[in-house]
Amino acid sequence: PGKGSPASGAERHITTTTTTTSLTTAPGTVGPVPVYEADEDGMIDITPGNGGLTNPNYSYSSYSANGGRQDGVGAPSSAANSGAPNITTTAGASSNGGGSIGGGEGPGGMSSPTHTRFGRDFHHSDHEGISFAGMTDTSDDIPGIGQYEDFHTIDWQRDIARDRMRHRYIVKKRQDSFWDLLKGAHDAWSGWVCVLLVGLFTGCVAGVIDIGASWMTDLKFGICPQAFWLNREQCCWSSNETSFDSGNCSQWYAWSEIFTSSREGFGAYVISYFFYIMWAMLFALLAASLVRMFAPYACGSGIPEIKTILSGFIIRSYLGKWTLIIKSVGIMLSVSAGLSLGKEGPMVHIASCIGNILSYLFPKYGRNEAKKREILSAAAAAGVSVAFGAPIGGVLFSLEEVSYYFPLKTLWRSFFCALIAAFILRSINPFGNEHSVLFYVEYNKPWIFFELVPFIGLGIIGGIIATLFIKANLWWCRFRKYSKLGQYPVTEVLIVTFITAVIAYPNPYTRMNTSELIYLLFSQCGISNQDPLCDYNRNFTDVNSAIEIAAAGPGVYKAVWLLILALAMKLIMTIFTFGMKVPCGLFIPSLALGAITGRIVGIAMEQLAYNYPKIWIFSGECSTGDDCITPGLYAMVGAAAVLGGVTRMTGKCQLEVCQMNQNRTVHSFTVKNE
């Protein structure tokens, strides 16, 4: 558009790529252009009376390439009413469809608008001076400077410069009065207070999600009549029995027992099967409907979008309150439906929503998009911390994977935020074992040097599984996008949930919760373990005697075949599940695929050492009859391999797997392989 003409229709675009300055003086006159001198930090002080724009009759306005207007300070200008000519003008349109910009009202018909959003009117004389640097301390941002349009990129240099100017202004003003000194102190520790609040709220929300997901998952199998709000494990705590199988105590009633007074038989199996599918369909329907109606941004993992936002992109409402609420409720419903997904990835999104909302309590962060991303980086670390009980892993995740702007102070604040979140979660004790980790296991035997060969093999297998999953999932997502199936997301969720429930229930390793399956695969077989995976031909004469290597019984071979079927089912269903319009994460399914593979390889190595102890590779370590092979350790290595292949993160995956298991033996393994 020409000078003075409004931008309209398709002509609303940026017509210049330079920054020009409009400077007018008293009515009817044109003053000289002032010269600004930068300090040692490269910053220009434009505060009146401080060596910058000292003429009280000047009115300074600069226009950026995107149409934003940056107003300087000084006394009011009357050029807009005098028709004074402009020194320079810019013909362009703002990104939101604004008209041409320029200074004064000259032949082009342009006028210079007056802003009053500093907290005082520009037409009122200000002998003390109004600082552009101090505007974010008590007032709103100027449109076009501190606010960005949706799906736009922030200006890192401008926001960082604005923060430096704000900080310099506070440092200068805190010598004036005690109140300004308090404001300076508040500005100094506001970052630590903000990450403290983020950690507190993240830990509380994570505890509620863990408790709710556990209760709804057990609701598919039965109910505790005496206290319906208790899950199966908590219900059995009040039982007088000294031992029970998988939480099936007398206090817990399966659905078949409620309707037929029996847990065994074909009729009881059919009733339990029906209720399992019914609850799974109900939970999935609620999750998909909530996402579709109230918060479409709550679907998926959220980590790719968080990475985009932290790199400086604006996505309005993606970190809003409705997204937080629906994501928290939806992930509980999705996990409880038995879908092949996890809640760990969405926890990063939930924590980032909390960080974004709480940042507005502190204008230092709420009004500066670059500074706000420091809080979001700390929130992402807290999300991983509560998901895996791994504060250090959360910091590495934020540093290695998602953050773009990560100064040194953000590193310490992220660690502090992750520690607070993990501490709150452990205080809530959602797992009932006074541990904040998902899979608390202990290994008494260190790994042996010859096991590096199967460990390398597990790494290769993990990479192959990850490659198959990524390529197949991308193909399915493209098919969903260009087919009619993508137009009916709720129907897709119900179909996948129904197929998953029908296939999963007959296999005990797919019927159980995925986190319980991973814990079982990581665990070491003990005397009291009655799972078929621990069906070895051992003769225990003393409870305190050491566990020796033994031949596998029929239960182990049956369990291996069931695990192979579970591996195929988990891989296929994860391909179709990830990307649906429900909150879903990829960490737990990846760990499950690797843990199943590793446990199978570990059992194979264990039986080789038992049947062929004289082979040179076993002769030095396994010829004494001790239990030299730990299949649970192989499951852990396999889980880390698949997770690393899917996420492309190496150091963070190692540390995360070690922290979420609290295992000294695996710690030494990681250090030696570094």
Write out pLDDT tens, residues 109-120.
Answer: 333 333 333 333
pLDDT at 342: 87
Q: How many CA atoms lie within 13 A of 554 on its CB side?
A: 0
Q: How many CA atoms lie within 13 A of 320 on its CB side?
A: 12
pLDDT at 539: 63
Amino acid at 526: G
Domain spanning 449-673: CATH 1.10.3080.10: yes
Collapsing DSSP states into helix, strand and coil, what is residue 490? Answer: helix
Q: Determine the average pLDDT of the residues in 393-398.
A: 87
Higher pLDDT, 250 or 38: 250
Q: What is the rounded distance in angstroms from the CA atom of residue 121 to the CA atom of residue 552?
A: 85
| 150 Cβ contact list (under 8 Å, min separation 6) | 314, 315, 316
Cα dihedral 393, 398, 400, 401 sign: positive
pLDDT at 489: 92
| 63 Cβ contact list (under 8 Å, min separation 6) | 19, 20, 21, 22, 69, 70, 90, 92, 101, 102
pLDDT in tens, 525-565: 877 677 888 888 766 555 445 456 677 788 889 999 999 99
Amino acid at 562: L
365-377 residues labelled b (16+ CB within 10 A) or e (exposed): bbbbbbbbbbbbb
493-515 residues labelled b (16+ CB within 10 A) or e (exposed): bbebbeebbeebbeeebbbbbbb
Confidence band, pLDDT 50/70/90 cuts, at residue 476:
very high
Domain ranges of the chain: 1-147, 198-428, 449-673
pLDDT at 166: 86
Maximum Cα–Cα distance across the chain? 107
pLDDT in tens, 255-310: 888 888 777 888 889 999 999 999 999 999 999 999 999 999 999 889 999 999 99
pLDDT in tens, 520-532: 998 888 776 778 8
Structural contact between residues 359 and 366, judged by C-beta atoms closer than 8 angstroms: yes
Structural contact between residues 646 and 466, judged by C-beta atoms closer than 8 angstroms: yes
Name the burial class of residue 471, with classes exposed (0-12), middle (13-18) and buried (19+) by CB atoms within 10 angstroms of its CB: exposed
Continuous segment of H or E residues that includes residue 23: strand 20-24
Record the pTM.
Answer: 0.73
Point out the least confidently predicted range of 61-70, 192-201, 244-253: 61-70
pLDDT at 447: 73
Nearest to 12 by CA among 100, 112, 108, 144: 100
pLDDT winner (highest mean) among 46-50, 509-513, 543-547: 509-513
Alpha helices by DSSP H, 238-310: 255-260, 266-294, 303-310
Confidence band, pLDDT 50/70/90 cuts, at residue 53:
very low
Amino acid at 36: Y
Are both 198-428 and 449-673 of the same fold? yes
pLDDT at 185: 82
- State percent of the chain over pLDDT 90: 35
Cα dihedral 488, 489, 492, 493 sign: negative
Assess whether pLDDT exceeds 50 at residue 519. Answer: yes
- State percent of the chain over pLDDT 70: 68
Mean pLDDT value across the chain? 75
The rounded Cα 479 to chain-centroid distance in angstroms is 27
Higher pLDDT, 129 or 403: 403
pLDDT at 414: 94
Q: What is the rounded distance in angstroms from the CA atom of residue 104 to the CA atom of residue 542?
A: 96
Higher pLDDT, 222 or 663: 222
Q: Determine the average pLDDT of the residues in 461-476.
A: 94
- Which CATH superfamily includes the segment(s) 198-428? Clc chloride channel (1.10.3080.10)
Q: What is the rounded distance in angstroms from the CA atom of residue 223 to the CA atom of residue 215?
A: 9
Structural contact between residues 618 and 451, judged by C-beta atoms closer than 8 angstroms: no
Nearest to 648 by CA among 162, 355, 303: 303
Structural contact between residues 289 and 490, judged by C-beta atoms closer than 8 angstroms: yes
